[in-house]
Amino acid sequence: MVKGYEVVIGLEVHAELNTDSKIYCSCKNQFGLEVNSQVCPICMGMPGTLPTLNKKVVDYAIRMGHALNCSINRVCKQDRKNYFYPDLPKAYQISQAEVPLCENGYVDILVDGEERRIGVTRIHIEEDAGKLLHSDKFDGVSLVDLNRCGVPLIEIVSEPDMRSSKEAHVYLETLKSILQYLGICDCKMQEGSIRCDVNVSVHKPGEPMGTRSEMKNVNSFSAAVRGIDYEVERQISVLEAGGTIVQETRRWDDVKGISTSMRSKEDAQDYRYFPEPDLLTIVVEQERVDELKATIPELPNIKILRYVKEFGLNIKDATFIAESVELAGFFDACMAKGRFGAKCYTTWILGELVKFMNETGKTLADTKLTPENLTDLAEVIENKTISNAGGKKVFAVILNEDKPVAEIIKEQGLAQVSDDSVLEKIADEVLAANEKSVNDYKGGKTNALGYLVGQCMKASKGKANPGKMKEIILKKIGE
Amino acid sequence: MELYEKNAWELSEMLKSKEISSAELTRSVFDRIKSVEDKVDAYLTLNEENAIETASEIDKKRLAGDQLSDLAGIPVGIKDNISTKGLRTTCASKMLENYVPPFNATVMDKMTNAGAVITGKLNMDEFAMGSSTENSYFKPTRNPFDTERIPGGSSGGSAASVAACEAVVSLGSDTGGSIRQPASYCGVVGLKPTYGSVSRYGLVAFASSLDQIGPLGRCVKDVAMVQSVIAGHDGMDATSAYREYPDYAAALNADIDGLRIGLPKEYFGEGIDPFVKQSVLNAVKEMEKQGAVVKEISLPSTDYALSSYYIISSAEASSNLARYDGVRYGFRAENYDGLVDMYERTRSEGFGDEVKRRIMLGTFVLSSGFYDAYYKKAKLLQRRILGEFTSQFRDVDVIATPTVPTTAFKIGENTDDPLKMYATDICTVTVNIAGLPAISVPCAYDEKGLPAGLQLIGNKFTEQTLLNAAYAYECISGGFRKPEL
Amino acid sequence: MNIDIRHIAKLARLRIEDDQLEKFESEMQNIVNMVEKLPDIDDEMTLDENNPMKLREDVICEEKLTRQELMQNAPKVKAGCLVVPKTVE
């Protein structure tokens, strides 16, 4: 609720699929290459050329459909969406209108500790358009680069189920991490591999839904949040001033932080959809649909819930680990060993490991860390072979070297001394040299004990087991 | 008899026995072009230099003992909507006046690999929209049997060039009758293959679900020879049918004993010229004498075929022709003010009236609020028409009809009345609507000496049956008669 | 059925000059009257499951045309790009 209004948000997310070739031709699907270098007569829409559908695009879209609990239309078709624009060489986009590949799904997200189910209306496959380049150098003209034409897209359309920009943001982050989990999209926001259109309306509680506006040109998740917040404020102020909301398409300007009207419903485009006659019916065997379902891993939104419920992680930590495919995979493998509790591992993962990754820019895969050597490390700390400080030293080594923990301890001489006779000898020497502190302690100054233990540790060059050292000192000065 | 007058299969034998060379044959055809082209106007672009060069290469290969196809060294004309790498492909439109494709249509790769010698690009109605070749931006083509008359269309150049012996065989395209109808008017044989049997890759699209490339020739055997080369599955065309295709020419035979021929009463009613009607019935009677069994049948939805055809073809055309916007290739208007104005001026100056009419009709039937009433209805009717054919093909092997209701009309006679022009497609459009194969063979000449055609329609992928039936009839009738030019 | 020729022409990006409007209007009206003859069929279009499409394997084609070859037909080229009047959107 914002100022007494309920907010209703629906999102249309476009994700570029990371196939090798484009959706309807064999050109390379790669970002950032020289202008008009990844084009052929087909994606340039030359007269007489025809599309052929990339099998992997269908597979990827079906996998996303499974991940979002959709029913899969294993018999479906493609349609033409007709409109003129210089970035659209055929003057129509091959998309899916009537029958999308996937529909009627949902995704569960966690917002402020509460589970929310967001409906997914449909997922369909389509081709991306090219790019228009504007520059002051070229007066009065725009330049057209067609490299992006035919890059495969899936469009994920949500139900109007979100009630705040925060929910929209969590939904977007959830979709992103699912796409990454499936390995079907690079999810590089700065390259535009995920883009979204936002539908927003507001209404008073108990009243029917308000008129919605659609916002385009939303190029990042944070821009989506800003755009939604702006649009909600705008609509409320229009209504409060006694005005009405008109159905329209608006354009978000993230630099200025405002949206402006692009076109009203009256001059809405008439796309004249009709079945693409150059392509036949897509028929995917049920067996293949099932096979693809079996490839879906446990997804991050499900993992978060499990980490919270089963392992007792807080939502922040659970989300941080679950949203990274590699951290979650590592954490799950550690937990599968059944040796230590979650806390033991998350301390290392969220502490030293993340610190290392942030400082070096490396990924987990770049390190030599394994669930095995990390468990070995936890083991030697638990049985007090080494100290916590020694543990950090060992960790720094196993990040970079494929060397057994025991060997590292030996090489660096990190093993703690727990032998009573050795420790007693150190204690005797330290106590003898620090009579004043001993007397202080006996006189009731308990913090003198810490000083004495510290001196013993120093004398042992840090190798003494501090717990045991303390016990021995207590025994001796208590005598 | 001059070399250019001979049929492809005869020339193929002569080339094989090294009685003649391809260079010699090609020169003979170009000599013929030089002597009659100004009367016929069949060509938009001539490819003489390359043709002679190809012919000489083929001759060299033959002398070297290479294994060559039947079509090797034979001069072939190509309709100007089939993409030819490095050779201007205009679709007879101002829009593509200077367009040179950087790639070959799949059929061109096949023809080139078979050693065919490409004589040039043939005139047509602009973007294949029309029935008389009067809609060419460049010039009308004339009927070799009477140069005051139209050769039919849209493959008018393909039919006229073969009839005038300016090419031995040719390739055309057929969306609603565009191969068969001009073949009938020009007294030659034209085959519209089953939808999906010849790759459309590189054929400049008019109506994607109806377009099909096919051969024209002066005899059935020549047509079979070309069809054997161009038929086949193509990975570049998703609508191309994945199956085995026979060598039609090798399997050709004239035995029609027991062939079941259906005569659909709807194709012999009002609007069919009595001479044409009688000629077709006579032809069927001749086939009956050879052992064919004739039966009257009914295809009740025929009356609606023309409407269904114009809706579907125009809808697809409106979308297929939207790409001509003056950005990537083709004509761009000289003066404009901004993007939308550039689009509108480019398209209005680049397209002729008939193309504009079809684009507008197609845009209208797809537009919001009208889709169900027009496009969807037409598609449902298409399914019904196919159903009626399919059920008839349980009882008959081929269906015989006139190809066109009349013989060729005069240039300019129907240009002011689009509907009258559209009506000439009445016997041919059903075949495209149903995706079936059909062939037109000359069956009679009227009192003015103008040819009329017999159309034989078959079930999907029964080209061999059609070719055999047409071949049998040709053996009876004597086939092509050369016009005086 | 009355057809709004101006609207249709706008959708199709065609310019109809005032002196041609009437001609196109009446021709279109005649054509639409003809195609309106279609009977009502109380049925829905279905997808043809028996004629499935062969899909292409996800393989990049290395053999390709150069930018020069692909752009040789373009009316206006600058800096390796196609040139159009400035777009606002």
Q: What is the distance in angstroms between the Cα of B370 and the nearest Cα belonging to chain A?
A: 10
Backbone angles phi and psi of B183, in degrees to 5: -60, -40
Residue A266 confidence (pLDDT) above 70: no
Structural domain range at position C31: 5-35
CA-derived radius of gyration, chain C: 23
Report, as an integer, the average pLDDT of A319-342: 92
Question: Quick check: A90 contacting B, CB < 8 Å?
Answer: yes
Residue A413 confidence (pLDDT) above 90: no
Structural domains of chain A, with CATH: 10-202+269-292 (no CATH), 298-412 (no CATH), 420-478 (1.10.10.410)
In this prediction, residue A127 has a pLDDT band, given cuts at 50, 70 and 90, of very high
Output the average pLDDT for chain B. 97
Q: Which helix (H) or strand (E) holds A457?
A: helix A448-459
Is B7 within 8 Å of B74 (Cβ atoms)? no
Q: What is the distance in angstroms between the Cα of C74 and the nearest Cα belonging to chain B?
A: 4
Q: What is the pLDDT at residue A479? A: 53
pLDDT more than 90, % of chain B = 96
Q: How far apart are CA B368 and CA B171, in angstroms?
A: 38
Q: What is the pLDDT at residue A190? A: 86
> Residue A311: is it exposed, middle or buried by C-beta count within 10 angstroms (0-12/13-18/19+)?
middle
Report, as an integer, the average pLDDT of B22-47: 98
Among candidates A20, A99, A251 on the partner chain, residue whose Cβ is nearest the Cβ of C58: A20
For A218-234, the DSSP string reads: E-SHHHHHHHHHHHHHH
Residue A323 confidence (pLDDT) above 90: no
Residue of B nearest to A36 (CA): B328
For residue B88, give the nearest of B77, B99, B104 by alpha carbon. B99
Q: What is the pLDDT at residue A173? A: 93
Report, as an integer, the average pLDDT of B387-413: 97
Q: How far apart are CA A129 and CA A329, in angstroms?
A: 36
| Count of other CB atoms within 10 angstroms of residue B39 | 13
Q: What is the pLDDT at residue B424? A: 86
Q: What is the distance in angstroms between the Cα of C37 and the nearest Cα belonging to chain A?
A: 21
pLDDT in tens, B91-126: 999 999 999 999 999 999 999 999 999 999 999 999
Q: How far apart are CA A96 and CA B327, in angstroms?
A: 26
Is C58 close to A34, i.e. CB distance below 8 A?
A: no
Return the residue in A142, A147, A287 with the most chain C beta carbons within 10 A, the one to mutate for interface testing.
A142
More confident residue, B109 or A136: B109
Q: What is the pLDDT at residue B315? A: 98
Q: What is the pLDDT at residue C1? A: 65
Residue A418 confidence (pLDDT) above 80: no
Q: How far apart are CA B13 and CA A78, in angstroms?
A: 48
Residue of A nearest to B95 (CA): A47
Distance from the Cα of residue B142 to its chain's centroid: 16
Q: What is the pLDDT at residue A2? A: 86
- Whole-angstrom CA distances from A24 to A104, A128, A216, A282, B320 are 26, 11, 26, 14, 16
Amino acid in the structure at residue A372: E
Contacts of B306 in chain C (CB under 8 A): 34
Contacts of C67 in chain A (CB under 8 A): 36-37, 39
Is C24 domain-assigned? yes
Lowest-confidence range among A97-106, A132-141, B86-95, B158-167? A132-141
Return the residue in B323, B331, B336 with the most chain A beta carbons within 10 A, the one to mutate for interface testing.
B323
Contacts of A44 in chain B (CB under 8 A): 328
Among candidates A55, A270, A281 on the partner chain, residue whose Cβ is nearest the Cβ of C51: A281
Q: What is the pTM of this model?
A: 0.91
Is C81 domain-assigned? no
Question: Quick check: A143 contacting B, CB < 8 Å?
Answer: no
Q: What is the pLDDT at residue A271? A: 96
Is C77 domain-assigned? no
How many Cβ contacts (< 8 angstroms) between chains B and C? 130
Is B325 close to A45, i.e. CB distance below 8 A?
A: no
- Chain A neighbours among B 57-86 (CB < 8 Å)? 81-83
Residue B421 confidence (pLDDT) above 90: no
C-alpha dihedral sign at B88, B94, B96, B100: positive
Q: Which chains lie within 8 Å of chain C at 3 or more CB pairs, if any?
A: A, B
Among candidates C12, C36, C38 on the partner chain, residue whose Cβ is nearest the Cβ of B318: C12
Return the residue in C4, C15, C45, C55 with the most chain A beta carbons within 10 A, the one to mutate for interface testing.
C55
Question: Quick check: C79 contacting A, CB < 8 Å?
Answer: yes
Lowest-confidence range among A236-250, A340-354, A453-467? A453-467
Q: What is the pLDDT at residue A6? A: 96
Contacts of A41 in chain B (CB under 8 A): 101-103
Contacts of A144 in chain B (CB under 8 A): 327
Question: Quick check: C75 contacting A, CB < 8 Å?
Answer: no
Return the residue in B90, B200, B327 with the most chain A beta carbons within 10 A, the one to mutate for interface testing.
B327
Q: Give domain B3-259+399-477's CATH superfamily.
A: Amidase signature (AS) domain (3.90.1300.10)
Q: Which chains lie within 8 Å of chain B at 3 or more CB pairs, if any?
A: A, C
For B76-116, the DSSP string reads: EEEETTB-BTTB---TT-GGGTT---SS--HHHHHHHHTTP
The ranges of chain C with pLDDT < 70 are 1, 88-89
Q: What is the pLDDT at residue A249? A: 92
A313: left (phi > 0), else alpha (psi -120 to 50), else beta?
A: beta
In this prediction, residue A265 has a pLDDT band, given cuts at 50, 70 and 90, of low
Is A125 within 8 Å of A94 (Cβ atoms)? no
- Whole-angstrom CA distances from B158 to A443, B263, B467 are 120, 29, 19
Question: Quick check: A35 contacting B, CB < 8 Å?
Answer: no
Question: Quick check: A461 contacting C, CB < 8 Å?
Answer: no
Residue A267 confidence (pLDDT) above 80: no
Is C26 domain-assigned? yes
Q: What is the pLDDT at residue A435? A: 85
Residue A209 confidence (pLDDT) above 90: yes
- Chain C neighbours among A 49-88 (CB < 8 Å)? 52-58, 75-77, 84-86
pLDDT in tens, B440-480: 999 999 999 999 999 999 999 999 999 999 999 999 999 99
Q: How far apart are CA B386 and CA B434, in angstroms?
A: 5
pLDDT more than 90, % of chain A = 72
Total tally of structural domains belonging to chain C: 1
Q: How far apart are CA B48 and CA B30, in angstroms?
A: 7
Among candidates B238, B325, B327 on the partner chain, residue whose Cβ is nearest the Cβ of A280: B238
Which letter does DSSP use for residue B461 in this model? Answer: T
Is C10 domain-assigned? yes
Question: Quick check: C88 contacting A, CB < 8 Å?
Answer: no
How many Cβ contacts (< 8 angstroms) between chains A and B? 98
Contacts of A82 in chain B (CB under 8 A): 318-319, 322, 366
User: Which residues face B451 on adjacent strands?
Assistant: B445
For A398-422, the DSSP string reads: HHH----HHHHHHHHT-PPB--HHH
C16-23, long-range: CB < 8 A, 24+ apart: C16/B348
Is C60 domain-assigned? no
pLDDT more than 70, % of chain A = 99
Contacts of A49 in chain B (CB under 8 A): 201-202
In this prediction, residue B18 has a pLDDT band, given cuts at 50, 70 and 90, of very high
Among candidates A53, A56, A144 on the partner chain, residue whose Cβ is nearest the Cβ of C81: A144
Q: What is the distance in angstroms between the Cα of B356 and the nearest Cα belonging to chain C?
A: 8
Question: Quick check: C57 contacting B, CB < 8 Å?
Answer: no
Question: Quick check: C64 contacting B, CB < 8 Å?
Answer: no
pLDDT in tens, B69-87: 999 999 999 999 999 999 9
Q: Helical H runs in B79-232?
A: 106-113, 156-163, 180-186, 220-230
Q: How far apart are CA B296 and CA B298, in angstroms?
A: 7
Is B327 close to C65, i.e. CB distance below 8 A?
A: no
Is B377 close to C41, i.e. CB distance below 8 A?
A: yes
With b for 16 or more beta-carbon neighbours within 10 A and e for fewer, the A90-109 pattern comes to bbbbbbbbebbbbbbbebeb
- Chain C neighbours among A 109-148 (CB < 8 Å)? 132-134, 138, 140-146
Contacts of A28 in chain C (CB under 8 A): 60
Is C47 close to A281, i.e. CB distance below 8 A?
A: yes
Q: What is the pLDDT at residue A470? A: 85
Residues of B with catalytic roles: 79, 154, 178
Lowest-confidence range among B61-65, B149-153, B367-371? B367-371
Contacts of B237 in chain C (CB under 8 A): none
